[in-house]
Amino acid sequence: MFQSQTAQRLRAEGRVEGRAANILLLLDHRGVELSDEERERVMGCSDFDTLDLWFRRAVTASSADGVFNSQEG
């Protein structure tokens, strides 16, 4: 099925935005606090692979550092 470049780009942007929102939701649910700057870092990230890594870390991380910087979990 053919999709225009615009449609493909919009779909990719939607995936990125959804993944970022899911990270914040997961961390909020788990009680992991993020600063405003850290929230902006998540929402401003446009790389799905990075967001996917952060999401996987967010499942077990006990701090923002565990999401962004470590191999925790």
- DSSP 8-state secondary structure symbol assigned to residue 60: T
**pLDDT, position 1:** 61
What residues in the chain have per-residue pLDDT under 50? Answer: 72-73
CB count within 10 Å of CB 57 equals 20
Q: Which residue, 59, 63, 68, is CA-closest to 40?
A: 68
pLDDT on residue 70? 67
Token pair listed for 23: 């990270």
Q: Which pLDDT belongs to residue 73?
A: 44
- The pLDDT score that the predictor gives to residue 50 is 95
